[in-house]
Amino acid sequence: MTVPTFDDVLAAAGRISGVAHRTPVLRSRIVDDLVGARVFFKCENFQRAGVFKFRGAYNALVQLPQEQRRAGVVTSSSGNHAQALSLAARLLGIPATIVMPLDAPAVKVAATAGYGGDIVRYDRYAQDYAEIAHGLVAERGLTVIPPVEHPHVVAGQGTAAMELFEEVGELDALFVPVGGGGLFSGSVLSARAMAPDCRLHGVEPEAGDDGQRSLREGRRVTIDTPQTIADGAQTRFLDPLPFEILLRARPTMLTVTDDELVECMRLFAGYLKIVVEPTGCLGFAAVRRAADELRGQRVGVIISGGNVDLDRFAALVGT
């Protein structure tokens, strides 16, 4: 698999222009005072389908040749990638099949269906996802668009950080949520080209420190599915492609607790007036922990998404 470069990010930016939202960068004087630094929040919770993943999904789909477009695409996801891919496919007139476990939350199944995805359910205790997907690929000639492990997906995700640097100039440090590593590795491509002195920090939930351990040990460490409210980072390992990019760039990997994520959800709602899903709080939670070292600096934070059930959100931010 080809490792993408910043040129691929630039090309992706051209392809998604006018289709993906160019999301705003928000600031808050109160937050700056709290942290003691100047913090720039790139708000991908305002991205289409509520999450950065639309960037990568669209960039991958739009490059498919006609024949593959006609046959359609398939992916497995019970979360954000499913919604983003469904929406991107609909905009391009490509049939999208999403393989979802029978016990996926009804609200996510409904959202994915609402975006136009054709849903195939399976019993994850009795059936193997890979077998089902391979069956669909063989029978119907579908193309698999994975949530992370694809150079066009990673390049697309890099456009969020690219827009941030375009808008605010160089930064002393950048903090990015890490699940499978697509958003962070894409961000690294943009940062290395546009702000070579910017320190790069990937942030994981404490329970899911596979990325931190992988970079420390120089090999992809696999863990059990972590117990954390950051459902977008409940990944068991870094995907190979992001790992390759991160291994070269040698960023710092940090972790934060679920309690810190909830506190950030409250700060976001109270001071920035935005709804952020737990995974989207990873970057800011790490900034708060590292405040002493960031004093007076210009700090970028990527808020990855805002897809959180309203009742759950209310329960977490209320007291």
Binding site for its own copies (CB under 8 A): 21, 24, 26-27, 29-30, 45-46, 48, 50, 114, 266, 269-270, 272-276, 306, 310-311, 313-315, 317-319
Q: Which position among 28, 76, 77, 78 bears the catalytic label?
A: 78
Apex 19 CA angle, 18 and 20, nearest 5: 105
**For residues 55 and 16, is the Cβ–Cβ distance under 8 A?**
yes
Q: Phi, psi (5° rounding) for residue 307?
A: -85, 85
Active site residue 78: yes
Secondary structure, 3-state, 253-268: EEEECHHHHHHHHHHH
Instruction: Outline where DSSP puts E strands in 146-239.
Output: 173-177, 199-205
CA distance 100 to 77: 6
Nearer to its own copies, 217 or 311 (CB): 311
CA nearest 304: which of 99, 84, 98, 109?
84
**Least distance in angstroms from the C-beta of 43 to its own copies:** 8
Site of tokens 């708060």: 288
CA distance 77 to 280: 18
**Least distance in angstroms from the C-beta of 110 to its own copies:** 12
CA distance 35 to 26: 15
**For residues 68 and 93, is the Cβ–Cβ distance under 8 A?**
no
Nearer to its own copies, 11 or 303 (CB): 303
**Least distance in angstroms from the C-beta of 264 to its own copies:** 13
CA nearest 302: which of 30, 28, 43?
43
Bridge partners (DSSP) of residue 229 are none
Nearer to its own copies, 88 or 198 (CB): 88
Q: Tell me the two tokens of residue 140.
A: 């119907």
**Least distance in angstroms from the C-beta of 282 to its own copies:** 16
Nearer to its own copies, 154 or 274 (CB): 274
**Least distance in angstroms from the C-beta of 47 to its own copies:** 10
Q: Tell me the two tokens of residue 57.
A: 């999904």
Nearer to its own copies, 21 or 192 (CB): 21
**Least distance in angstroms from the C-beta of 93 to its own copies:** 16
Active site residue 17: no
Nearer to its own copies, 26 or 153 (CB): 26
Q: Which position among 28, 53, 108, 190 bears the catalytic label?
A: 53
Any idea which residues carry the catalytic annotation? 53, 78
